[in-house]
Amino acid sequence: MRKIPKSIYQFYKWIFLFPFVLLSTIILGLGCILAAIIFGEKSTNIFAVAWAKAACFLVPLEVKVLGEENFSTEKSYIVVANHQSMADIIILQAYVKLTIKWIMKKELGSIPVFGFACKKLGCIYVDRFNHASALASMNEAQKNLSKTSSVIFFPEGTRTRDGKLLNFKKGAFRFAMATGIPILPVTIKGSMKILPADSLDVSPGSATIIIHPPINMKNRNIEELDAILSITKKKIASAL
């Protein structure tokens, strides 16, 4: 990708990019809500993908996807990915050809338009500070998942600050075990340079998504949970 002078990009970012992302979030969010009301939840994914692709185009980002043969758009997966940047969200939404449902902090649900649009998309809001409430939200989500909906987890729980994998939390693996939905390990590379943690210093750049073969979760028992977590983490780490 051709390098853009930083002074020019800073002007572009604040005068055009950020205002456009805000405006497109409002417009496409309203479109998502309207489509959900008229046509139902299945019609809403197109708005989320359009928003994410527009953002990637305007940053701009070059994204390469490897391993698309490892999943089917006609099946559901528990997508387990490493987390390097907030850019991971738009990259996965734009370029992984699955109907994605996100696990989101309850606080995000109160953002005007955005919060309600995400609810219509079927995103799952959880209260990070109330374990019982979070568990109830996940149990409800299990009942409402369609046969072609996939849920994305960042099991590290936060973004890495040095590129190294953090310890994995067990929520994604318990959810996969409870539902019997296969785990789809995903490695994201390069996104930390696009938007570092704790920063708004977005920059144009390149990222790669590596999709690994799925891990079967049917008829698994709780004694296998730690081993499955370890296998998933090794698969993700192998491509970093």
Domains and CATH numbers, the chain: 6-238 (3.40.1130.10)
pLDDT digits (tens, 9 = 90+) for 225-240: 999 999 999 999 999 8
pLDDT for res 7: 84
d(CA 87, CA 215): 26
pLDDT digits (tens, 9 = 90+) for 126-170: 776 776 666 676 676 666 676 788 999 999 988 888 888 999 999
pLDDT digits (tens, 9 = 90+) for 162-197: 888 999 999 889 989 988 999 999 999 999 999 888
Which region among 11-15, 121-125, 133-137 has the lowest average model confidence (pLDDT)? Answer: 133-137
pTM of the predicted model over 0.85: yes
d(CA 123, CA 101): 5
Q: At residue 78, does pLDDT exceed 80? A: yes
d(CA 151, CA 43): 17
pLDDT for res 141: 67
d(CA 136, CA 133): 5
pLDDT for res 119: 79
Using the CB atoms, write b or e for 55-93: b if 16+ within 10 Å. Answer: bbebbebebeeebeeebeeeebbbbbbbbbbbbbbbbbb
Percent of the chain exceeding pLDDT 70 equals 92
How many C-beta atoms lie closer than 10 Å to residue 49's C-beta?
A: 18
Q: At residue 97, does pLDDT exceed 90? A: yes
Q: At residue 209, does pLDDT exceed 90? A: yes
pLDDT for res 122: 76
Q: Do residues 84 and 192 make contact, with C-beta atoms less than 8 angstroms apart?
A: yes
d(CA 98, CA 216): 18
pLDDT for res 196: 85
Percent of the chain exceeding pLDDT 90 equals 49
Q: How confident is the model at residue 125 (pLDDT cuts 50, 70, 90)?
A: confident
Q: How confident is the model at residue 201 (pLDDT cuts 50, 70, 90)?
A: confident
pLDDT for res 69: 96
